[in-house]
Copies of this chain bind each other. A is one copy, B any other.
Amino acid sequence: MTPILQAVAPELLPFASQNIADAVESLNARSLDAATDIVAGLPLARVIDMFDRPELQRAGNLIARMPDARAAALLEGMADDRAADVLLELDEADRTRLSGRMRSGTLEALRQLMRYPPHTAGSLMTTEFVSVPADWTVAQTLAHIRDVERSRETVYAIYLLDPATHALVRTVSLRRLVAGEPDAPALSQAQRTEPVWVSASTDQEEVARLIRRHDLLAIPVLDEARHVLGVVTVDDVLDALIAEGTEDAHKFGGMQAIAQPYINTGFWAMIKKRAGWLCALFLGEMLTASAMQHFDDELAKAVVLTLFIPLIMSSGGNSGSQATSLLIRSLALGEVRLRDWWKVALRELPTGMLLGAMLGAIAIIRISIWQYGGIYDYGPHWVLLALTVAAALIGIVSFGSLTGSMLPFALQRLGFDPASASAPFVATLVDVTGLVIYFSIAAMILGGTLL
């Protein structure tokens, strides 16, 4: 048994000896009172490791219930990006009280981090990285890393700074440094190309894109003078990407994003997240009732027309949903840019027309079989009816593909997240126009016969 475990009460042993992820999960499953007692009984080093995990729930509550001295020591010991997040969970009074107990250096760094808006490089970054003057040798740099390793979130990328201006010159990886001759300059082991960097306001999706593109373990965040403000590590990006993926999936499903797991979300919280969009879409969809009221003469004359309304409308929504999911993703990954909208429009229009024609052909076949087979009698003008349905499908699927593909561009242009475009939203947009297209085509083809 390692020394750290000997001081722990037997009932707390699992929390002290499990791997951190399991210990955090077990703690999350306990009541707040039980969790408070467990945290009080564990060594500080272990508590720091647990609080460093973003998966730990109620971190703010737990800290507020600790003795002030221990809470302050915990915040000092935590990775500063996590400590800043936890401080933001506290109420104003607790935050002020604990701030008084902390070292001014740490406090200043945390205050700085708390200022950056969410979803930016600034809010994701840690200030606990390693930088050394660019004229140091490999041995000097390695000795420095040995000294500070414990207090740094990442040491795998080392930032070489101009000795006079402290501006970033080059990045060197720990692996290249370890492989270097001790007396060689650290700079000789550095990458030859300009370091890739971001600014504090860069969006996290762009940070993720750059880290992926250049296979980095960390990316430096620079200010205008090229000073290193902090670094964003690949594990923070991974977490941010997963959270953003969930957010986008919920939005595309037509609801507000939910950050907590499904099972942990309360009944009323769930209703709140879903009701807003559902009601908004319902109000939008009411226009279909208005459109149909407008055509009620036609409907009364030719009930047979109504049989195909759901079929035609859903095809428009489906093709729109396809196009929207394609373009949201392409815009998010930077494969397509705002200025490419017309190229996409020129692609989607013929695509939609062809897809609509395919569905139209199927519809004609279906109506013919039912008519000839005696399954249903569409009346004496059934050929014209079949043509109406097919023509409407071409029009509506083209319109759906075009609307669905342009919506993410329009949202981005207006400053919204393109991922706010949802399948139900597109379907609603297309439904009303779809009805108008259907009845207009019906009036043209069936005018004088059925209508």
Interface residues of A (CB under 8 A from B): 2, 17-21, 53, 55, 142, 145-146, 149-150, 155-156, 174-176, 178-179, 192-194, 196, 208, 211-215, 217, 234-235, 237-239, 241-242, 245-246, 248-250, 252-255, 258, 261-263, 267, 270-271, 274-275, 277-279, 281-283, 285-286, 288-289, 292-293, 296, 299-300, 303-304, 306-311, 313-315, 317-319, 321-330, 333, 335-336, 340, 343-344, 347, 350-351, 354-355, 358-359, 362-363, 366, 376, 397, 422-424, 427-428, 431, 435
A253 partner residues in chain B, CB cutoff 8 A: 252, 321-326, 423
Closest 10 A-B residue pairs measured CB to CB?
A: A253-B325, A423-B423, A261-B335, A288-B310, A318-B424, A149-B179, A262-B330, A19-B193, A255-B322, A21-B213
Chain A, interface SS category: helix
Which of B321, B326, B329 contacts A424, CB < 8 Å? B321
Which of B2, B245, B252, B304 contacts A423, CB < 8 Å? B252
How many copies, total?
Answer: 2
Are B193 and A262 closer than 8 Å at their CB atoms?
Answer: no
Residue on B nearest A335 in the bound complex, by CB: B261
Which of B176, B310, B321, B355 contacts A313, CB < 8 Å? B310
In the complex with contacts A239-B212, A288-B310, A310-B310, A178-B149 CB distance below 8 A: yes
Q: What's the nearest-Cβ distance from chain B to residue A247, in Å?
A: 9
Are A254 and B335 closer than 8 Å at their CB atoms?
Answer: no
A422 partner residues in chain B, CB cutoff 8 A: 321
Q: What's the nearest-Cβ distance from chain B to residue A29, in Å?
A: 14
Are A285 and B267 closer than 8 Å at their CB atoms?
Answer: no
Are B303 and A299 closer than 8 Å at their CB atoms?
Answer: yes
Are B19 and A355 closer than 8 Å at their CB atoms?
Answer: no
Are B213 and A281 closer than 8 Å at their CB atoms?
Answer: no
